[in-house]
């Protein structure tokens, strides 16, 4: 047996450019629309929110975009990340499949998120931004951007969904350790927040509301920009460093995936890994490559939602984009995989799904934790609840191989560790975890509110 477990690159071999899928799409992405006018977005529309370099990246069709040296210097703290061959998991499953996982959990905040957080902080710094606002749900993104802003000495204000702020203090403390200010949303710091608190002082908050507060704070303060951690094209672009590394490392392992699996919430982690591979499917080099997006059965955006123009946020302040959506007013059930609780999906992923290059699957949370525990006992790593979704599908595919005798190569996009999600494992291990059914009626109600555009 080939015993090699880890495939690594020296930091000298770290990619120098991000890969921009927009150069290779057989059809261009449908344009984003202005939330107020419904007309195609212009760079000027976005200028109050983002630095110009990121706005340019959002619409660029250049294939390779250079990673600034200052960003690479910080990436070096944890990148390139390791590709693992899951020998011990294969043995536990008694499968002829070859399972690999690219692990993003060694970054300081413990996930893929800083790949874009550091880049966004850098471009803001370059253009004179003194302060950034953002929102966060369970806190993965907020902690990553806190780290990014600490690297460049930018002030950061994070609006954290109130219920998570109170129930999950560890991510909030991480943000503060890196020097950011984090407040529960709704907060008294914005008109949106004050209005909501006047209506309901005990309001638990939502991601949509937190986005509204962060955007309002941005546009009402000097030298302040706003930052988003997923969905947008420039975010996915920054994540492609992961896929470029993985392609090199799979070559080192003398392998190419038959199946790539990843979890999708807004889609940035998985897209970052698969975009450099999907290129091979688009150009016909690897027609049989399967790319499987895995989402929660209780928030099945791609598997059940229509492909339609919708707002990125519930308060209708964010751009309108064409995507699979469950409706901008939909509030997903409280699954532990907080990073997958989003009504929409990255337009790039939706477009590739429409074109038939990627597929989607939905999983219930109890089954995903069962898979996560199997993975932890074999490979050691305790994975984030989000990641457990694609581990579940990888195990299913490996077990199919056991039946068929095929030695397929399965690649998992492992987004990070679950060190601050142990309460979810506790619920699973003590039999208290529940599955949430697909809330069909709530989705239908939310879908009736789609904007009449496009």
What number of other Cβ atoms are within 10 A of residue 31's Cβ? 15
Q: Is 9 exposed, middle or buried (0-12, 13-18, 19+ CB in 10 A)?
A: middle
73 vs 251, beta carbon nearer its own copies: 73
Q: How far apart are alpha carbons 34 and 321 in whole angstroms?
A: 9
Interacting residues toward its own copies by CB under 8 A: 3-6, 8, 10-11, 73-74, 76-78, 84, 87-88, 106-108, 110, 147, 150-151, 169-170, 173-174, 176-179, 373, 376-377, 379-382, 417, 419-420, 422-423, 425-426, 429
In three-state secondary structure terms, 275 is: helix
74 vs 447, beta carbon nearer its own copies: 74
32 vs 229, beta carbon nearer its own copies: 229
Buried b / exposed e over 353-386, threshold 16 CB at 10 Å, is beeebbebbbbbbebbbbbbbbbbebbebbbbbb
Q: Could you tell me the two tokens for 314?
A: 């519930």
Q: Taking the complex as a whole, how short is the minimal distance between the CB of residue 374 and its own copies, in angstroms?
A: 11
Q: Taking the complex as a whole, how short is the minimal distance between the CB of residue 44 and its own copies, in angstroms?
A: 35
203 vs 253, beta carbon nearer its own copies: 253
Phi, psi of 153 (to 5 degrees): 65, 40
148 vs 208, beta carbon nearer its own copies: 148
Q: Taking the complex as a whole, how short is the minimal distance between the CB of residue 425 and its own copies, in angstroms?
A: 5
299 vs 381, beta carbon nearer its own copies: 381
Q: Taking the complex as a whole, how short is the minimal distance between the CB of residue 3 and its own copies, in angstroms?
A: 7
Q: Taking the complex as a whole, how short is the minimal distance between the CB of residue 403 and its own copies, in angstroms?
A: 25
Within a 13 Å sphere around the CA of 121, how many CA atoms are in the beta-carbon half? 29
Q: Taking the complex as a whole, how short is the minimal distance between the CB of residue 116 and its own copies, in angstroms?
A: 15
Buried b / exposed e over 205-230, threshold 16 CB at 10 Å, is bbbbbbbbbbbbbbeeeeebbbbbbb
Q: Could you tell me the two tokens for 242?
A: 């992961």
Q: Taking the complex as a whole, how short is the minimal distance between the CB of residue 16 and its own copies, in angstroms?
A: 14
Q: Which of 312, 309, 270 is nearest to 291 (CA)?
A: 270
Phi, psi of 269 (to 5 degrees): -65, -50
11 vs 66, beta carbon nearer its own copies: 11
88 vs 400, beta carbon nearer its own copies: 88
Q: Taking the complex as a whole, how short is the minimal distance between the CB of residue 79 and its own copies, in angstroms?
A: 9
Q: How far apart are alpha carbons 187 and 380 in whole angstroms?
A: 40
Helices and strands per DSSP (H, E), number in the chain: 18, 15
């Amino acid at each position: 047996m080939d015993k090699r477990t880890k495939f690594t690159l020296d930091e000298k071999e770290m990619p120098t450019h991000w890969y921009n899928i927009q150069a290779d799409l057989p059809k261009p992405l449908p344009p984003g629309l202005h939330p107020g006018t419904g007309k195609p977005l212009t760079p000027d529309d976005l200028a109050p929110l983002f630095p110009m370099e990121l706005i340019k990246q959002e619409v660029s069709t250049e294939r390779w975009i250079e990673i600034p040296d200052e960003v690479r210097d910080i990436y070096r703290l944890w990148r390139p990340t390791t590709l693992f061959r899951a020998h011990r998991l294969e043995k536990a499953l008694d499968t002829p499949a070859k399972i690999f996982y690219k692990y993003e959990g060694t970054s300081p905040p413990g996930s893929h998120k800083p790949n874009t957080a550091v880049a966004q902080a850098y471009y803001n710094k370059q253009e004179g931004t003194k302060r950034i606002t953002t929102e966060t749900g369970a806190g993965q993104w907020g902690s990553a951007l806190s780290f990014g802003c600490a690297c460049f000495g930018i002030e950061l204000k994070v609006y954290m969904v109130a219920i998570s702020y109170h129930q999950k203090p560890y991510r909030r403390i991480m943000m503060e350790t890196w020097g950011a200010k984090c407040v529960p949303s709704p907060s008294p710091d914005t008109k949106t927040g004050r209005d909501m608190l006047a209506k309901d002082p005990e309001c638990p908050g939502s991601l949509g509301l937190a986005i509204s507060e962060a955007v309002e704070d941005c546009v009402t303060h000097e030298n302040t920009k706003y930052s988003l951690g997923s969905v947008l094209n420039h975010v996915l672009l920054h994540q492609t460093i992961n896929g470029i590394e993985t392609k090199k490392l799979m070559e080192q392992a003398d392998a190419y995936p038959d199946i790539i699996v990843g979890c999708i919430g807004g889609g940035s982690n998985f897209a970052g890994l698969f975009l450099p591979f999907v290129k091979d499917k688009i150009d016909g080099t690897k027609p049989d490559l399967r790319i499987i997006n895995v989402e929660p059965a209780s928030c099945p955006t791609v598997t059940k939602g229509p492909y339609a123009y919708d707002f990125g946020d519930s308060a209708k302040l964010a751009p309108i984009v064409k995507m699979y959506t469950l409706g901008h007013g939909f509030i997903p059930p409280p699954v532990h995989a907080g990073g997958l609780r989003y009504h929409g999906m990255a337009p790039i992923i939706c477009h590739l799904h429409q074109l038939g290059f990627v597929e989607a699957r939905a999983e219930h949370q109890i089954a995903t934790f069962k898979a996560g525990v199997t993975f932890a006992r074999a490979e050691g790593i305790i994975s984030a609840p989000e990641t457990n979704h694609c581990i579940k599908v990888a195990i299913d595919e490996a077990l199919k191989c056991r039946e068929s005798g095929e030695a397929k190569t399965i690649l998992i996009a492992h987004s990070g560790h679950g060190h601050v999600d142990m309460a979810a494992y506790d619920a699973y291990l003590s039999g208290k975890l529940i599955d949430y059914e697909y809330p069909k009626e709530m989705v239908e109600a939310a879908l009736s509110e789609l904007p009449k555009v496009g």
